[in-house]
């Protein structure tokens, strides 16, 4: 019986997530030695370790009220890669898996590889956390924006030519943030013998620190793909805009500030937020710790707060009592959209809204570390919204500026290699 290569890859990815992601997230955001969670997959993982050498910054000591003036306007320090004049000589296929923050990384790697090889890129399908469930790229993202942004850089096809789809692709597992060395030594030789590739982008580690490279074309392609190619389709983007607008309207009745907090209490009891001994890992902050942090650094009780939680539950009651203008997705989402975004099986759509709102709010606090925090930080840096505060309950400091994300304070995010 014939086997669809996509089914083989899907099965391979499912297995590799459990095997490969045990050593997962490496970045520079929370306190030194932190072990944190793979927060957005909707799957429980054990042994997820984060190597983090960041420390609290010694930024000028100012209160929360003065941080509103701390944003910096940056401009792209890259130019769009020169158009490719030769015809595409092969095909790259892949799938978007897990949550939207992973989609950004997967798109970036696929575009960089296709550009380097001179191959055409086929629009990916989207596979969520539910086995057997998938959707088309255009069902979630703005396909016209994607194709237009990559025009002249990479040829984008809606589907494979029939004569190619009948063949078997060469399946290659690609580590996130692919390097030129990996492309040259591993991918290119295979591409020369079989110009139909199926990429499986995996995350043996995750680092959003800038990398030293000597290939300006690759760097520019990565900047373009990560920050300018992927957007929600207009009707979904409009829902995020409506939710953010409602938050801003609500904030006008209080202190005018919208604070977004990435809160995921469902992870606190899972292995991804626990050490081998059963204690909670650093970087997985519960509502009580977040509440203590907000009070300690001086947030007004009138602050309008958006939590990335979908529904309200009792663990959030104390936070609501101290900060009464606190809302979840279900509180502020247009009623006619709840059926689509909040139903079981559409967690990736709901998470996409969180990504938009957290990237555009006045301030952002990640209660859980991981790739979501990293890509929100990147989007905020690119747009000049650099007010990101990272909780550290053990710190004796009460100055908000001491908790500015090291992504910003140390300019340790790759966004600073794209925007300056």
pLDDT for position 294: 95
pLDDT for position 35: 30
pLDDT for position 39: 36
Of 27-41, 172-186, 278-292, 330-344, the poorest mean pLDDT is in 27-41
pLDDT for position 68: 61
Dist. CA 343–CA 412, nearest whole Å: 37
| 2-49: pLDDT as tens digits | 555 555 455 544 445 444 444 443 334 443 333 333 333 333 232 233
pTM score, two decimals?
0.83
| Mean residue pLDDT across the chain | 83
Cα–Cα distance list, 136 to 204, 220, 278, 367 (Å): 26, 27, 40, 32
Is pLDDT above 70 for 284? yes
pLDDT for position 95: 96
| 44-77: pLDDT as tens digits | 232 233 333 333 333 333 457 666 666 678 999 9
Cα torsion for 217, 179, 134, 336, to the nearest 10°?
Answer: -60
Instruction: Round the CA-based radius of gyration of the chain to a whole number and report it.
Output: 21
Tracing tokens 């300019």 back to the chain, one arrives at 411
Dist. CA 78–CA 217, nearest whole Å: 9
Dist. CA 279–CA 267, nearest whole Å: 13
Cα–Cα distance list, 166 to 123, 160, 163, 297 (Å): 17, 9, 6, 61
Q: How far is CA 85 from the centre of its chain?
A: 33
Cα torsion for 217, 221, 227, 229, to the nearest 10°?
Answer: 150
pLDDT for position 268: 72
Mean pLDDT of 266-272: 69
Residue 22 C-beta-side C-alpha neighbours within 13 Å = 8
| 104-163: pLDDT as tens digits | 999 999 999 999 999 999 999 999 776 678 899 999 999 999 999 999 999 999 999 999
Is pLDDT above 60 for 1? no
Dist. CA 353–CA 141, nearest whole Å: 12
Can you name the residues that pair with 121 across neighbouring β-strands?
Answer: 92, 156
Q: How far is CA 363 from the centre of its chain?
A: 17
Dist. CA 81–CA 119, nearest whole Å: 15
Is pLDDT above 70 for 279? no
Cβ atoms of residues 362 and 305 within 8 Å = no
């Amino acid at each position: 019986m014939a086997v669809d290569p996509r089914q083989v890859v899907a099965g391979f990815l499912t297995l590799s997530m459990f095997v490969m992601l045990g050593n997962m997230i490496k970045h520079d955001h929370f306190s030194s030695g932190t072990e944190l969670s793979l927060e957005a997959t909707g799957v429980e993982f054990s042994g997820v370790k984060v190597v983090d050498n960041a420390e609290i910054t010694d930024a000028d000591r100012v209160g929360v009220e003065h941080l509103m003036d701390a944003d910096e306007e940056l401009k792209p320090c890259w130019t769009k890669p020169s158009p490719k004049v030769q015809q595409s000589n092969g095909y790259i296929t892949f799938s978007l898996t897990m949550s939207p923050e992973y989609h950004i990384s997967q798109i970036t790697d696929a575009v960089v590889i296709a550009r380097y090889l001179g191959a055409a890129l086929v629009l990916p399908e989207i596979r969520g956390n539910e086995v057997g469930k998938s959707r088309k790229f255009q069902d979630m993202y703005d396909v016209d924006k994607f194709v237009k942004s990559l025009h002249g850089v990479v040829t984008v096809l809606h589907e494979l030519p029939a004569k190619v789809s009948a063949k078997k692709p060469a399946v290659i597992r690609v580590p996130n943030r692919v390097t030129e060395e990996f492309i040259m030594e591993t991918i290119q030789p295979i591409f020369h013998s079989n110009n139909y590739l199926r990429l499986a982008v995996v995350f043996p580690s995750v680092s959003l620190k800038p990398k030293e490279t000597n290939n300006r074309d690759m760097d520019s392609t990565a900047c373009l793909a990560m920050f300018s190619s992927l957007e929600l389709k207009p009707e979904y983007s409009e829902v995020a805009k409506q939710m953010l607008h409602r938050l801003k309207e609500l904030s006008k009745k209080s202190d005018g500030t919208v604070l977004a907090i990435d809160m995921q209490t469902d992870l606190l009891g899972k292995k991804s937020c626990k050490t081998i001994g059963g204690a909670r890992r650093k970087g997985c902050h519960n509502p009580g710790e977040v509440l203590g942090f907000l009070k300690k650094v001086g947030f007004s009780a009138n602050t309008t707060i958006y939590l990335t939680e979908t529904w309200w539950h009792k663990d959030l009651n104390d936070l609501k009592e101290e900060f009464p203008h606190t809302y979840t997705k279900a509180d502020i989402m247009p009623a006619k959209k709840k059926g689509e975004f909040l139903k079981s099986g559409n967690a990736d759509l709901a998470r996409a809204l969180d990504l938009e709102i957290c990237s555009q709010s006045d301030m952002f606090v990640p209660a859980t570390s991981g790739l979501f925090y990293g890509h929100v930080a990147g989007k905020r840096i690119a747009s000049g919204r650099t007010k990101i505060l990272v909780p550290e309950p053990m710190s004796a400091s009460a100055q908000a500026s001491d908790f500015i994300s090291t992504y910003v304070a140390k300019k340790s995010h790759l966004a600073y290699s794209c925007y300056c």
